[in-house]
Each structure stands twice: as structure tokens, then as C-alpha cells.
Chains A and B, each alone.
Chain A
Amino acid sequence: MKQVFISLVILIASLKIFIVTSGSMEPVIKTGSMVVTKAVDTTTLKVGDIVAFTSPSNPKEAILHRIYSVKSTAPIIFQTKGDNNNSPDPWDLPQVGVLGKYYFAIPYLGYLGAFIKTKFGFALLIVIPSIIFIISQIIFIKKQLKLLSLIFIFLLPIFFAKNIHAKFIGSSTINGATITVGNLTVPEIPSAILPDENNYVNPDSIYVAWTDTDAKYYIYQSSNDSNFYDPYTSENLINTNFTTTGTSDYIYYWHVKACNGINYCSNWSTTSSFIVDGTPPTSFIDDIPYATNQNNLNLVYSAFDNVKVDNTKLCYSFNLQNYQCQDNFDFNFNDGNGIYYFYSKATDTVGNTEDKNSFTNSIIYDTIPPTTNLLISTTAPTYSGQNLSTSIGQSFYLDSYIEKILIPHNLSANLTFSFKYFSQDLAQYSHLDVGVSTTDNIWNLLTFGGEGDFDWQKISHSLLQWAGQTVDIYFKLTALDPTFITTTIIKDLNISTLDLRTSDSTPPEFLSTDLGAGIFESSTTPDHISSTDLALNIESTHSISIVTLPQIVLNKITSSTITIYNNTDTSVNLNNWFLDIGSTVITINGTIPSFSTLDFNNDIGTTKIILKNNLNEIVDSTTFDILGNSVWQRQQNGLGPWALFNDQININLENSLSQSKITLIISGLGDTSIDLNYSINYFANNIEQQIAGTILPNTVDSTGTISRDFYLGTCSTGVCIPTLNIGSTFTVTFSTLPTKTFVF
């Protein structure tokens, strides 16, 4: 019994009673509970045990929390946490702070303890029972003594129970902070790397570099003065180099210092220097020929610089197109004929380049010789040449045939004809005279006589000496004795201005054309001409071949209409001109506008028509077969041969646009012998398109019809893509036929 009592006393002595005032240990230990703890060996405590301990942040305060972790075992340090807190306590709990291990708890009994600690509760539950106890002791009331003793045993420990917190702890964190100390070490002094000492540098790209001394930044300083008076000072430079531009030419001194992140800087580096050279070199190309026909041209250049020329390039452009530069001044005209423009562009050793943007030299590369023709004035009347067939009929006395013509200036016209002479005049007095007469003189070219029937003879004689003059060519038969018959037949009379130049003291006018360098000179031999251009290309000598046209030409003849055409750019007065149509002479009055036609309606009962001017000079003539319903026609300007067309030329254009096709059909071409040039114009996508071609006589069928199909599109490797958005109007134009328009 005694041992039990002693054990009970020891147990009671090891117990501590606390009133839980907050709820961080709920629901295990509710607020208002009376908690009893027991002193234990702290080395036996483990994670999960609930312990009462003195608050590390407030020694006057006791806290009841659960051991969250054991942070250290020597010494023992616990980390605690309230069950109802979202984070461990912020303190470290040493073992000496542990008041006891949770033993048991009596819910709500803490509220009684709190009540006892009020004045009223203290008086009611402590003082009054104490007084009663004392009195009862005094009067020896044993039963009360026992009862009150029990009350004391129960209430006094409650009274002396301390408050204990199951303390609430809220926590939060700031994450990701950085704490660093700057680099307190002064960086080493950098050393200059670039440019080399006293080197020349280009102001457009001054690049200064120094050694990396593991600095946070560098400060660069430069000055024209070696003592750095009034220097330029850079901002903080992260890199170990510094680039600047635009500094004027001069010697510059520079140094640099290195600084760490807390602005501890080294001393300035050893002073270095460089020389800014922003002056570009100059260069020029020596004179080159104006033109050449040689494919290689070696250009000679000179270049100068205040320091040193590094290289010089030859820049050129072909026909002022994009220019390009090459290192080689030995130039080949690889782009072909044209004008080549050159300039030289020099660069010095620091990269200064001449600022040239215009060409200083040019040359014409020309390998094509010129072409030369004689220049014929279109204002002077000319004669296109005739092929007359006439006869001087039987004559007893005198008969003659006279043609008045204007010999073109500078041109040698030839008179050619054939004649057959028959005469019974034994005395041979009868004779044929052929000659030229002007208002001032007569030149006899031929006198032929004799008795007999002579065969055909052909005569040709130059009319050179009458160039530029209007002359009468006369054929005169003289028969003095009518007893004897004398007859001469003239045929193939041709007075041609289309002749070779022979000799003329008049300086010739050349129409020399050269698309390249231009004409250097033109020269003529008695029957050939040739020019040389400035590139020394020599034109192959060639014969003079000139087509001369009269002002007014015969253009078209039907059985009832004669059409003439003004082939000049001015109107021509036709007063007293006339058309000789054999049986009838039509006198013309009026004016024909430039490049216009004029029709004369008259039955044409002949096969020859002659157009003469007011001076009775033959201007144009033509001979043909009986026309019937056909048309005798040539190009309006008088060029080209005459051709016979059937009665009606019918031109039709068939519409097959759904298949992107049209068909040109021309009928009534008869036995035409001329090439028909045609063009068909239309619009596609509002852009004018053209089909052009030539119909050759041998492609016309036996019915005089030709048909051509045209696909309107683009074909490539067998695949055709039709043209879209084709307009509805097609215009067909011919070289010798009227224009006709079709609208689909």
C-alpha cells in the first residue's frame, strides 16, 4: 500500500495540467479541453508525439503541438506543427523546451478552469469551499472533511493549470529571390589588340578591340591629344571592342579600362593610337576610242591615294543598264553590239572607295557595217520607167513618135528599144533618127538607113547627160521619096531610171545608215557604192539599187474605173493632167489629197493606159489584157507588180470562238501573182492581239480561194491553252485589199 501511494505521488508529480485555449490541434484536442502531460525522457520522443513545450518565441507561453520532424539528434531539435495548421512552426524546438508528452485530455474541462480563474469562479469554487473546509476542520466534522478534501483534490490542480496554446500559425513565402555580393576584385588592365599601332583605319568602320579581362564592362576613351585633353568617353561597354564612324581624318589616341559590376575599375590601359583615313583614292581611265569593232579593249587606268591604293575595279554598263564591276581592265564586249560605259573605282587599303556614280568613258562596240543607198528627193518628179510598144507607121515623108520625160536628178536613165527597119529606097535617103531634144539643143543618138528588110535590133543609150532635165525622146522616120516604102517598127521602148550610176560630177547624196557607231565615210565607184562606219566596219560594195516613184501612180483599173493614188505627203494639183486610154483622153482637173485615191469612171476599151502631167510628160503607164470583170491592181503606193484579180474578192471570217478558232476565207483571188500580206487584229483581256501572215499565190486553189484556220491561244509541247476574254471585233487588213471589220 505504501509503495502504491509512493508511485501515485511520483506519477502525480510528473503530471502537468494545461487548459487548451485554441484549436490548432483539433480535432484530436478540442479547444477548451483540459490536457494532462507527463514528463518523459525527450530522447524517447518521436515524430507524431504530441508535446507541450515552452514557446521559443515567447518563454512565457506554452504550446501544445505535434512533433513534425526531428531536425537534429545531437543536440535534439524538433520541428513541430499544429494538426490544424497548414505549415510547420517557424521555430526550432530544443529538447530542453519540452514540458511534457501529451497524456490525456478531458474535453470542456478547461472551461471550468477558466471559470475558476475569474473572480466570481475563484470565490465560488475556491474561497467558499476553503472557508467551509477550515470551519469543518475546526468543528471536526469528519464526513464533510472527507467530502471537501475530495473537492480540493479535484479543484486545486485545475486552478493551477496553466493555459496552453495549440497555437495557430499562418505562413507564406517569397520565392526566387537572389542575394549576391558584387565582384570586389578590380579587373586587370586590358591590352590593345586592334587596330595595330599607328595603323590607318577607315572612319566608316573604326573597330577598336582589347583583351578580355573578365570585366563587367569597359570604358573606352579617345582623343586627338596624347594627354587625352577633352577626350571622347564611351558609355559602359559590355564587349571588348568599340565601333564608331564618322570621325574626321586625324591621329587618334585611345585607351581603355576595365570595371567590375560594382564599378571598381582598373587603371587606363597603355595609350595606343591609330590614324583615321577617310579620304578615298582617285582614279581615271585613259581616253578610249569612240568606237571599235574589235572584241577586246585594254583600258589603261591610273589611281592615286594619300596612303595606298589597294585595288581598282573597272565598272561598266551596257547601254546604261545595270552596271557591274570587274577586277580586270582587259575588257571583252560580251554583251554584243552597243554602247559600253566605263568608270574606274579605286579602293585604298583602309577600305575607302571612290564615290563615283557616273561613267567617265564610253565606247561603241559595233560589228555591223552600214548600209548605203543614194538619197532621192521625193519632191522632184521622177519617172518610174515604161515598157512601151509602139510603131512608127508607114510614112511617105515624115512620121515621128515623141515621148516627153523628166530624167531624175543624179540618176542615169537608160533608153533602150528594139526596132525593125524596112526600106525600098535604093538611094538610101530614107532613114530613122532617134534622139533627144531639149528646148536648147538636139542630140541625135541614132541614125539608121539603107535599102532592105533589116532584122530586129536592140539599142541602148545612156541619158545621163540630161539628168534632172525634161527632154523629148523622139523617133523620127524620114522618107524623102514616096515611091519607095520605108517602115520602122519600134518596140520594147524602155526609158528606165532604174539604172546604175555611171559618172556624174554632181556630188552624190547618200542615204547611209549605220545603227552602231555611225557613218565615217561613204564613197562611190563608177557603178558601186560603199560606206564605212566609225567602228571601221566596211560595207560590202554593192550596186546602186533605187526604186523611184512618181508622185501620182496608177493604182487600180477595172473595166469602168481608173484609180490613181497620190503617193506624197502633200496634195497635188492635177489641172491639165490627163489619162490616155487609147480612144479617149480624160482631162483631169482638181487636186488629189496626199496619200489618197481618185477614181475616174470611164469604159476602158483598151489594154493600155498612160498618165501624163500638165507638161505632157508620161508619169505612169500600164498595159494589160482585156479586163472584163477582173481587176488590174497593184499596191497603192505603186510598188510591186500589177496583178489580176477576179471580179469580186470576197473576204470572210468564220466564227468558231467556242473552240477558240477563227477561219479566214478569201475567194475570188483568180490567178493573182502577188503575195497578199494580211493581219487580223482583235482584243483579248483588253489587250490588242494580232495575227499576221502572207498568202502566196501558189497556195490559192483552182477556184481562186484560200482558207486559213487560226487557233486563239498558246500551245506548248502539244498542250494548247485558249486565250480568254476575247473581244467580239476582228479587223482584217490586207496589203492590197480594203480593210474589213467583223463583229461576232
Chain B
Amino acid sequence: MKKIYFSLMAIFLVIIFVSYAAYSLFFSTASISGVTFSTSSAALQVGDGINFDTTWEPHDFLFENMVPGGDPIVKDFSLKNVSESDITMNLGAKLGSSFTESPVGSFDAIKNDILVRITQGTGSTASWETLDTFKSTGINFDNGLSKNESRDYHFEVKLDADADNSVSGKGLQSVVFEFSGEQN
């Protein structure tokens, strides 16, 4: 009787497991379908659209003398997926933490008033993120950058129109913008 009981329980469990598995496999939009394996490595380079490298030091990436409500200061850059294998990247950017504050305490003073976004083309409706967010969580600004593909972007910075005089003269020097291409 005990064996019969276990057999019935086993039959019941198998039916339950197989039914759940079948449902998961064939009816769900979850991530278990389409398993692919990839090898080798990924690499992302930044540049002016002509020349690319993992580190770019342009002389004119200056977002200076911003005023409340002033037009955004826009600087152009390009990213290129130079992965050795066929890796497609989702792109993100963050503010590096190694900047110099001038004067000291500037980041805290301006982190919620300086707004940043990365756009493509014209008429972008991408949302503006604070410098604080840009530093802590970064911005995911594009997807699907294929192997050997490069795309042009605008780095836009502005001072919030409601900023008060406490941000006057504050600034960051030697700022590093970190871009990451996460395997899709």
C-alpha cells in the first residue's frame, strides 16, 4: 500500500512538473527560451567618429559657464563596438568618481541642478538625468550596438532653470565619462 501511495504521488508530481515545464517552455515570454552560447570578449571604444580608442581626451569637452535655463551645451562623440566576437551591446554611461571639485564641495552643490542626457540625432525626447543619478546609477542610452558598428551621440549638459545662486561658480574639473557596452 505504501508503494502504491508513493507511485501515485510520483505520478502526480511528474504530471505537475511536466505540465509546468511544458507551459514554461512553450507558452511563456520569459527568458528561458532561445538559449545561445557566446565566447571570446567584448570591447567598446569611444572617439570623434573617425578615430576610436578605449580612452579619448578631447580638448573641447567643456561644459562651462552654464546658467540657469540656458541652452544645453552639446558635445559630440561616437562609440564603436570592436568586440572580437559577434556581441551586441547595450550602452550605458556614468560619471566617473575621480573628478576634481572646484571649489571643494561643488559636486554636492550642483549634483541635483546639472542635468545630463545622451541623445542621437535631433529632436530627442530622452529624459534628463541629474548629475547625481548619472554618477550613481548611470544612464542606459542605447541598445543593440552590433559588432564593428559605430554610432554618433550628443552629450548634452545644462543647468536646471530653477537653480539658485548656490551653484554659482561651482564646477568639476578632470571629469571622466565612463561608457559601458553590456553584452545584450
Contact = CB atoms under 8 A, between A and B. Distances in A.
A173 B10 contact: no
Contacts of B183: 22, 24, 165, 167-169
Nearest to A162: B32
Interface residues of B, number: 89
A743 interface: no
A178 B35 contact: no
Contacts of B25: 117, 119, 122
B42 A169 contact: yes
Nearest to A111: B37
B37 A21 contact: yes
B57 A171 contact: no
A160 B54 CA distance: 40
Contacts of A142: 3
Given A174-B56, A178-B61, A180-B170, A57 B182 contact: yes
A152 B39 contact: no
A85 B57 contact: no
Contacts of A15: none
Contact of A90 (B55, B66, B92): B92
Given A90-B180, A168-B83, A182-B168, A85 B42 contact: yes
Contact of B14 (A85, A110, A140, A152): A152
B81 interface: yes
Contacts of B102: 180
A145 B181 contact: no
Interface in A608-663: none
B120 interface: no
Interface in A70-103: 84-87, 89-92
A507 interface: no
Contacts of A90: 92, 94, 138, 178, 180, 182
Given A31-B38, A126-B18, A172 B170 contact: no
B35 A19 contact: yes
Nearest to B43: A170
B57 A179 contact: no
A26 interface: yes
B44 A134 contact: no
Contacts of A114: 35, 37
A173 B56 contact: yes
A117 B57 contact: no
A178 B75 CA distance: 12
B173 A172 contact: no
SS of A interface (majority): mixed
B98 to A, nearest CB: 9
A178 B64 contact: yes
Nearest to A216: B65
Interface string B74-117: 01010101110001011010101000001000000010011000
B46 A184 contact: no
A163 interface: yes
A122 B22 contact: yes
A213 to B, nearest CB: 15
A94 to B, nearest CB: 12
Nearest to B47: A172
The CB with the most chain B CB atoms within 10 A, among A142, A149, A171, is that of A171
A651 B176 CA distance: 101
B60 to A, nearest CB: 9
Given A22-B38, A57-B92, A173 B31 contact: no
Contact of B171 (A24, A84, A178): A178
A90 B92 CA distance: 8
A184 B167 contact: yes
B173 A178 contact: yes
B81 to A, nearest CB: 7
A180 B64 contact: yes
Interface in B11-38: 11, 14-15, 17-18, 21-22, 25-26, 30-33, 35-38
A31 B87 CA distance: 14
B56 A178 contact: no
B1 to A, nearest CB: 12
Contacts of A60: 30-31
A176 B61 contact: yes
A26 B18 contact: no
Residue of A31, A180, A181 with most chain B CB atoms under a 10 A cut-off: A181
Interface in A105-134: 110-111, 113-114, 117, 119, 122, 126-127, 130, 133-134
Contacts of B182: 57, 90, 167-169
A149 B10 contact: yes
A170 B39 contact: no
B181 A171 contact: yes
Contacts of A21: 35-38
> Top 3 closest A-B pairs, CB basis?
A180-B171, A170-B44, A168-B42
7 contacts: A114-B37, A140-B7, A172-B53, A174-B46, A176-B174, A178-B172, A179-B114
Given A86-B54, A130-B14, A172-B79, 16 more contacts: A22-B38, A26-B39, A86-B43, A117-B32, A173-B178, A174-B77, A177-B75, A177-B175, A178-B61, A180-B65, A180-B171, A180-B172, A181-B67, A181-B163, A182-B67, A185-B168
Interface of B: 3-4, 7-8, 10-11, 14-15, 17-18, 21-22, 25-26, 30-33, 35-46, 53-59, 61-68, 70, 75, 77, 79, 81-83, 87, 89-90, 92, 94, 96, 102, 110, 113-114, 131, 136-138, 140, 155, 157, 159, 163, 165, 167-183
